[in-house]
Structure 1
Amino acid sequence: MNKLILLLTLLISISISAQENKTQNLFVRVFDMAGKKIGKGHIYSINDSLIILSKSKKLKELHLKDIGKIKTKHSGGNNILIGATTGVLVGAILGSVNPPTDSSGGTFTWAGGSSGDELASGVTVGVLSGTIIGSVSALFKNSKTFIIEGNKEKWHVFAESVNSLYKRKKQ
């Protein structure tokens, strides 16, 4: 019984320590006044003149005076990259799983007569279909752009928008 309690305590403590301490789970890209990207990551904290971003367990502070605009969500290219990568993996698996035999043509029967042809066709079909799916999903991304330009009033509009979005997601 003692070992069971010890094991449960250990599992619970590992679970608790593995959780991140993000206040919001919104990914943003931050640009300076010239339009150059100066930061990206999930919003860790936001106050009257500072936003703290979390990326790869590292925190980055960006001050209001340095911020020109903020865009929510990842760029559309991210969707395309994820779609293409997923398509390549799925296509490679489908092309490798069912190689052609004397009695059947394989997954991609038009590909040819060897396992290499099946794999190449699977990767090609996968990258094309994944790229198309990623491109279509990028069209419906619905990201927002907030023009800040170091202005406190515009900053408060952004902060309130983030806080209201976070409260809706939390409920």
Structure 2
Amino acid sequence: MNYIMYIIMFLYTFHVSAQNDVYDNTFVRIYNVEGKKTNKGKIMSISKSSIELYSRGNTLTIPLHTIGIIKTKRSAGNNIGKGALIGGSSLALIGLLSGDDKGGFISFTAADKTLFGLVSGSLFGGLVGGITAIFKNSDHFIIDGNEMALEKFRNRMLRIE
């Protein structure tokens, strides 16, 4: 019985990494001092002089003096696009699978139903995505090449504050 308890305790503590910073796969968008978006990706590490991001299979190191603003999470357009894609494709598939009508006063072909489902589903899904973007709670950090502001951002990401 004791062996089972030791094994369970070992498995629960196996993934613990002492003194490693954990950023919870936080997605950030980095803007330069002029306000133009220069980089985006998930935070790997934050030092006093740079931020290291992982984006599309590459590791990017962004020096502190080039960082103007950091915004967390994805933009609202991402929510709208995903909503439109999911809604449009779902209703288009339903329209396609429902097949042709057998006749009568108003009858539609499967292609008509698919097109109607694609258009109406995209509009409805985009609307739902826009509503969810309102409640997104993304953060906005002004760094402007300041080491103290970057340290404050690092502490916030690590939830130290």
TM-score tier by shorter-chain length is 0.7 to 0.9
- Residue aligned with 2:52, SS: strand
Q: Which residue of 1 aligns with 2:53?
A: 53
Q: CA deviation at 1:23?
A: 4.4
RMSD of aligned alpha carbons: 2.0
Gaps of 5+ in 1: 1-21, 166-171
Q: Distance in 2 between matches of 1:104 and 1:163?
A: 64
Q: Which of structure 1's runs of 4+ aligned residues deviate more than 4 A? A: none
Q: Which residue of 1 aligns with 2:31?
A: 31
Q: Which residue of 1 aligns with 2:99?
A: 99
Does structure 1 residue 157 correspond to structure 2 residue 152? yes
Normalization by structure 2: what TM-score?
0.80
Q: Which residue of 2 aligns with 1:8?
A: none
Q: Which residue of 1 aligns with 2:10?
A: none
Gaps of 5+ in 2: 1-20
Q: Is the 8 Å Cα contact of residues 23 and 43 (structure 1) preserved in structure 2? A: no
Q: Which residue of 2 aligns with 1:114?
A: 109
Question: What are the within-5 Å matches in structure 2 for residues 71-150 of structure 1?
Answer: 71-102=71-102, 112-150=107-145
Q: Distance in 2 between matches of 1:23 and 1:40?
A: 18
- Residue aligned with 2:145, SS: coil
Q: Which residue of 1 aligns with 2:11?
A: none
Q: Is the 8 Å Cα contact of residues 84 and 124 (structure 2) preserved in structure 1? A: yes
Letter in 2 for 1:95: G
Q: CA deviation at 1:164?
A: 1.4
- Residue aligned with 2:150, SS: helix
Q: Distance in 2 between matches of 1:79 and 1:148?
A: 26
Q: Which has the higher helix share?
A: 1
Moved more, 26-35 or 123-132: 123-132
Normalization by structure 1: what TM-score?
0.76
